Structure formats: structure tokens, C-alpha cells
Homo-oligomer: A and B are copies of this chain.
């Protein structure tokens, strides 16, 4: 049973068995970095571009410390040239002595580079737009100019003994030959990482795999990737990039950033559920981090957030509930406890099944026959047809039903208020407006 379960999980979520032909095989995909990537956490750069974000120095430091505790490999900060305060904040965070390396993100320009290296950062992330649209409407430079400037900036940053990354912007709408030519040139001058950015969120997962796979054969340095979520593919694209050999993933807490943001922190770990428990990151701190940032930018955690959302581990349908009670991995790829979360089987609804009711009864120290559980379930479903019932309503029905059996008396199954008794007594099926439980 235990090995059955392990196989089930492995079949599903391991990079070595994701191929549907591959179930049962144990051949490793040496290209894939799904279980060994590094996180460049950009809540304090990309996240600051989120419409609602205004981080003061104190909040930035609080977030940086929390990210460090989570265990991110890098923390990326806003360009110190953006404003005086941005520069001062960058200097302050560099002095915290965090385990995470501190990066700042600049335009591919010597003016920016000089200010960046003076802040005390461990590395500089350089970027420039390479698509024809970016070149035309943003900076207006040609590819040869970009290459020349990039090399100048890279050599300058390296001469200060710190890391340097060179990224194109809007990589997926750039000419492939231009892209590879630039990446190859900066690789040859010893850049630490090249970056591929889906700045506008247009890339599809298979397109990402193809581009990263090709790039992996062109450069020998590390490959960082950055995906926007305009089309809802930012997690999937990060996952496919890792499969193709990318080494670093840009994230932000809750994915906050320009427009609707980027790959969220924890996303690639979530997409690879099986490795979560072996993750080098403190995934159990994810919820706290999300709460911290959500409060700072005054947003609610989305109800459907992929791991920490309200309902991520809530099971409702009868047949689901039954299987979950037998073995959680039947309907769960991620173990909620890896992320400090708990499972919840929702049984107070008309979709509930008798297995869920039996399980709940047992939690209440009530034991009945199968026939009695089924009859009790039918009564709960009948009541749930009339109005939404809360968990304690369901508990009350189970308890009353049980007492009725024991005593031989026939008491009402729920305390209904006056105007609810009429339709219930008349067994009317007309749904009515009632306060939600």
C-alpha cells in the first residue's frame, strides 16, 4: 500500500516519470533541473512594480528577512537609479548580512551600472529589450549596439568582483538569431547567467521548452528565466524551462508584479509536488510570507491560490471524500502539511457521500451500521437541498439521528427557525434565500 502510493505520486509528479510512456521506468532526465533550481526572488523589484505596491524601508527589510528565512537563493531589488530612496533601501538591505545574495536590476547602461556596484550588492541583473517592438518603442538601439554595450557593462561589473547576469527583455518576440548571437557573445566574456524573459506573458509552455533547450546548447553559463502571467501560464512556463535545463527561476510572493504579475514563489515547488518534502526551502513559511506581502500591498489572497488558497485542500464531492478518507493521495498530489496547511473534507452539502458522514461520525465518537450511515447521509442531503448547511449543522443532524436511534424517539433533526419549519415540514423543494452558513 505504501509502495503503491509512492508509485502513484512518482508516476505523476516526478520529472523522471512525467512522460506517459515512462510509467514504471526509472531513467532520469539529466537535462531537467526541476528538483535542483535556484530562486531569484523579485518581490522587492518586480513586486514593487505591482500597481498597489508601496514598500517603505522598514517593510522592505521585513520582507527581505522573511524571504531569507524561507531560504531563497537571491533577493532582487529595484534599480537604485529609480529614486534616491530606492538606492538608500538597496544599501540598507545589503548591510543586513542575509544568507541570500542581494541583486539589483538595472538597464544595460554604464550610468546605471556605476551606481549599482556602489550599493554593495552581491550581483547585478542587467537587462535590455531585444524584440523589434522594444527596440523601436523603448530604447531605439540596434543589435550590434546592444551587444557592445552589454559587454562593456558586464566587464565593468565583473571588474568589481561581483556576479552579473545579462537578460534580454521580451525574449519570445525577439529574432532567434539575434538572441542566440547576443547570448553567445556575453557567455564568451564570462557572464554568470543569461536571462530569458517573457516580459509580456505571451509564451506557451512548449515554446519555452524549445527555446531554453536550444539555449542550453549555446551557452555554458547558468540560465535564468522570468515569466509573466498575462495568459495564466507563468507557473507552467517556469516548470517547462526547468525541464529544458534552466537553472534559475524568478519569482515574487503571490506573483505580484507589472500587470497581473509573474511566477509566484513556491509555484515550481508546487508544480513538482513530490519534491516538496525534500525541498531546500522552508515551504511551511510560505503562508506567512504571503500574508505579510498581501497585507503590505492591501490585497486578499486569491481564493484559488494554488497551495495556500482557501480551498486548495478542501474536498466536497461524495466519491472524492470517500477516496480521500481512504488515501489522501487519491485526490492530492501535494501533501498539505509540507506547506504547513491542513486538509478539510467538506461533508455538509448535497454532494456529500455516506463515507464522509461515517468518517465525521467516528470523529464525533458515534458508531452506527452502514444502513444507518446511509440513511443519515440521505437526511443531510435532503436538508442541504433546502438550505446551505454548516459543518455544525451536519454534526447536529448526525448527533440527533444517533440519539433518535438510541432512544427510539423521533426528534427533529435540526433546530429550524419558524419560517424554515413550514417548507421543511411540507417537504417543499423550492430553494429559498437564507443566510449563508
Please determine whether B350 and A204 come into contact, CB atoms closer than 8 angstroms: no
Contact residues of A between 153 and 187, Cβ < 8 Å to B: 170, 172-173, 175-176
Which residue on chain B has the smallest CB distance to residue A204? B18
Q: Judging by beta carbons under 8 Å apart, are A58 and B350 in contact?
A: no
Binds B, one of A6-14, A356-364, A415-423: A6-14
CB pair A331–B85 under 8 Å, yes or no, is no
B311, A50: Cβ atoms closer than 8 Å: yes
Q: Which residues of B contact A272 (CB under 8 A)?
A: 231
Give chain B residues whose Cβ lies under 8 Å from the Cβ of A331.
199-200, 258-259
A231 and B240 within 8 A (CB): no
A313 interface contact, C-beta 8 A: yes
> Smallest Cβ distance from A37 to chain B, in angstroms?
15
Q: A222-248: which residues lie under 8 A (CB-CB) from chain B?
A: 229-237, 239-240, 243
A66 at the interface (CB under 8 A from B): no
Are the C-beta atoms of A385 and B85 separated by less than 8 Å? Answer: yes
* Oligomer: number of copies: 2
A interface residue count range (under 10 / 10 to 19 / 20 to 34 / 35 or more): 35 or more
**Which residue of A19, A176, A206, A303 has the most chain B CB atoms within 10 A of its CB atom?**
A303
Any B CB within 8 A of the CB of A143: no
Contact with B along A4-29 (1 / 0, CB 8 A): 11011001110000111101000000
**With A and B bound together, what is the CA distance between A272 and B232 in angstroms?**
11
Q: Is the CB of A202 within 8 A of B273?
A: yes
Which residues does chain B contribute within 8 Å of A433, judged by CB atoms? 56
Residues of B within 8 A of A209 (CB): 206
Query: Assuming the A-B contacts A202-B13, A204-B236, are A20 and B304 also in contact, with contact meaning beta carbons closer than 8 angstroms in the complex?
Result: no
Please report the C-alpha to C-alpha distance between residue A126 and residue B311 in the assembled complex, in whole angstroms. 26
**A306 part of interface (Cβ distance < 8 Å):** yes
A33 at the interface (CB under 8 A from B): no
A sample of 26 inter-chain contacts (CB < 8 A) reads A12-B172, A12-B202, A20-B211, A50-B311, A50-B316, A82-B351, A82-B381, A83-B351, A84-B429, A85-B431, A133-B323, A134-B323, A138-B319, A139-B319, A204-B239, A230-B270, A231-B270, A231-B272, A231-B334, A233-B239, A254-B304, A255-B304, A258-B317, A258-B331, A259-B331, A260-B311
> 4 tightest CB-CB pairs across the interface, nearest first?
A56-B431, A236-B236, A302-B302, A205-B205
